[in-house]
A and B are shown apart, each in its own frame.
Chain A
Amino acid sequence: MRPTRQLWGVGILAAVLAGLAAVFARPLLLGATVLIGAWLLTRQYLFVTTVRKAKASLTATQALDTSATRVDDATPVTLNVSLERPRSLSLSLEAGIPPAGVVADPLVVSLAPNETTAQQTTTVSWPVAGRHQFEQATLTATDGLFETTVPVGSTPGITVEPRSPRSVYIGKGGDRRAITRGEHEAERFGSGTDPAEIREYVPGDTADKIDWKATARLNALHVREFEADTDRPTMLIVDHRAALSEGPPAESKLAYLREAALATVSRARQLGDPIGLLSIGDAGLTSRFDPATGPGQYVSIRRQLLDLEPTNANERSGSTDDSTGPVTIEETATSSLIAAGRRPNHASLDTTASPGATPADTDRSDAFVRTLEPFYANQQYQTRFESDPLLGAVRTAAATYHDRVWTIICTDDSDPNALYEAVRYSRSKNNDVLVLLTPSVLFRPSGVADVERAYNQYQSFEEFRQKLDRLEGVTALEVAPEERLSTLLAVGHERTQRQGVRQ
């Protein structure tokens, strides 16, 4: 409870009168202090009892249209207040929007004396992911002399999910396929933990291999064999060139491929398989992890995948390296992997929209750019390639790891010839190859508005994918947003039906 300015005046008046009574020795003035004090105490008590009744009869709700949203989305929040019966108090209610919610103006509703209902709606945007709990709405009541603030109502929560691909489709022509492999047959015995068979003891078997229960049961020495633990080395080659930035914010081709790659890493970790990573920028390799096991390896690869951002298309044209084929010389040439420090989802950096732009062309007057630029300026290409970076990466993988390796290439269909060559080269080294392809048509800014035209482009993509898939030892799968793909496939289905009717 806080006194208003009016009440302070009254309190000071009472004190001054008491002082005058003492100074002038006139007890009558003390009577004025007594009566003013009685007036003040009565109003104070009346205010407290009225606020208590108002609070008991008040219903305040902070209503959210949805309990879950995505980062930077705006959600309407409605603040509703109602009283069972009118009160003479002046009431105002402020919503308890969490600190993570951003509103242009505070959400406040006011109830003038004798009003019983009020409602106000505003939109709140959520720049921070996580679970955000509303605080109780704050009721401020005043009668002109006193003012008090009381928390009232419920505390709804909202879950803000980070922007990422909503529904990742991985498959062939509309049929979902698994990209990760399960446990694999070792086809030989060794020091594993899975029992394989029981056989008769032969000289040379160690005593600890003897299965005593089987020996007792069969009345002859028997040993138990176990399946040997095997590894399937996997090499992830993830393309994060400028073309991979195509798509809506946080739902680019790279974002979808990243989800697939992360799933592969997760599965390799479960099975304890060695896994490596080569990430390809426009001018060469940006990171390189040779296949290995161990928690550190999986965490490092996962972190690297999460850090990948599309590189600048101009890096390649700016390269002065005149070597041919894969280059293994470590270079220290700096590269602004993220042009001018901006993440590609921001409007100011769109390498696909302005492929001719150089880092120098970016808006250096932006304080944000100037602040971040030095941090990104030191990022380096591990290896630069004169030829196609994808082919260079595949050659690097083959050169550094001589065993048979499961090669997973995550890229798009923007350069089918180079991709085809890279896949064939990998196959020539007797590697199994999985190609995860994103169809560019599904990531265009215009979406699939012109569905007929988009479907034709998708058909071209599908033909290329099938061409890759037909290669021996090669599996080619498409990675795409499920909703857009379903839309296209529905068009194809209708077209097929129409053609069937004509015939």
Chain B
Amino acid sequence: MTDGESATGGRVESLLLNRGQADSRRLTGVAALAFVAMFGLAAGPLGVAAGITTALVWVAVGTPYAIAVGHVLIVVLYPAGIDPVSIVIVELGFLVLLLTAAVRASTPGRVVGWTIGAAAGLGGVAWFGVRSQSLWLAAALTTGGLALASYGVYRYELVTLGLVDDSKSTHDTTENL
């Protein structure tokens, strides 16, 4: 178990979003209730059960696994699919789970902005893929877009921390001159 795992009690979460344990528990409870309510509103009694299961996974394991479990449960419980309004409500419920952690950040606004922006960006790519192309391509575009964006942040890190060694390129340029 890494330091991060021990500090977050086994949940998959960044140490940076794990401050204020007492406040955190209260906030988690409120967010879980809101999430279950939204699930119930969108999918009825079965939705409440699915919401409770998802909330438990969220508390125990972390947000990514809760998102995965919640979506799989919806798909399993409603093989014929649910109407678009219900989908929006369910997804808003998941967004509540996503944004709850942002409150614990030192700059919550920035975290919320990044979360919504990233969700919108990736969602747009996925939406574009689903609407105009096949679902396979949409899946590939979404995962590819995610990998590309993650690589972009990685390159940003190298530059901002001064880890890019540009002496070789400077040397080459000088020689060419």
- Where the two chains meet, the residues of A that have a C-beta atom closer than 8 Å to any C-beta of B are 1, 4-6, 9-10, 13-15, 17-22, 24-48, 50-52, 55, 88-90, 113, 142-145, 148, 150
Contacts and interface: CB of A to CB of B under 8 A. Distances in A.
A50 B16 contact: yes
Contacts of B118: 37-38, 41-42
A13 B63 CA distance: 12
Interface of B: 2-5, 7-8, 12-19, 63-65, 67-68, 70-72, 74-75, 81, 87, 91, 94-95, 98, 102, 105-106, 111, 114-116, 118-119, 122-123, 126, 130, 135-136, 138-140, 142-143, 145-146, 149-150, 153-154, 156-157, 160-163
Given A144-B7, A150-B161, A37 B146 contact: yes
Contact of A41 (B2, B3, B150): B150
A19 B3 CA distance: 32
Given A17-B68, A145-B14, A29 B160 contact: no
The 3 closest A-B pairs by CB, nearest first: A144-B4, A38-B119, A32-B71
Given A34-B142, A38-B115, A42-B114, A4 B4 contact: yes
A48 B130 CA distance: 32
Nearest to B116: A38
Contacts of A145: 4, 12-14
A73 to B, nearest CB: 35
Given A22-B136, A22-B139, A88-B15, A31 B123 contact: yes
Given A48-B153, A144-B14, A34 B161 contact: no
Which of B5, B16, B154, B160 is the most central at the interface, judged by chain A CB atoms within 10 Å of its CB?
Answer: B16
Contacts of B16: 43, 46-47, 50, 88-89, 143
A19 B144 CA distance: 12
A37 B141 CA distance: 12
A39 B136 contact: no
A220 to B, nearest CB: 69
B15 A39 contact: no
A271 B8 CA distance: 78
Contacts of A21: 135, 138-139
B68 to A, nearest CB: 5
B122 A42 contact: no
Contacts of B87: 28, 31
Q: Is the interface of B mostly helix, strand, loop or mixed?
A: helix
A178 to B, nearest CB: 51
Contacts of B3: 90, 142, 144
A6 B12 contact: yes
25 contacts: A1-B157, A24-B75, A25-B135, A29-B72, A30-B138, A33-B146, A34-B126, A37-B122, A38-B116, A40-B64, A41-B153, A43-B16, A44-B150, A44-B153, A46-B14, A46-B17, A46-B111, A46-B114, A48-B156, A48-B161, A142-B2, A144-B3, A144-B4, A144-B13, A144-B15
A409 to B, nearest CB: 58
Given A6-B12, A31-B123, A145-B14, 7 more contacts: A14-B146, A28-B74, A30-B126, A31-B87, A39-B67, A44-B150, A143-B15
Nearest to B102: A42
Contact of B14 (A9, A31, A43): A43
A14 B143 contact: yes
A89 B160 CA distance: 17
B171 to A, nearest CB: 20
A120 to B, nearest CB: 18
Given A38-B119, A40-B146, A17 B71 contact: yes
B8 to A, nearest CB: 6
B65 A39 contact: no
A257 to B, nearest CB: 50
Nearest to A33: B142
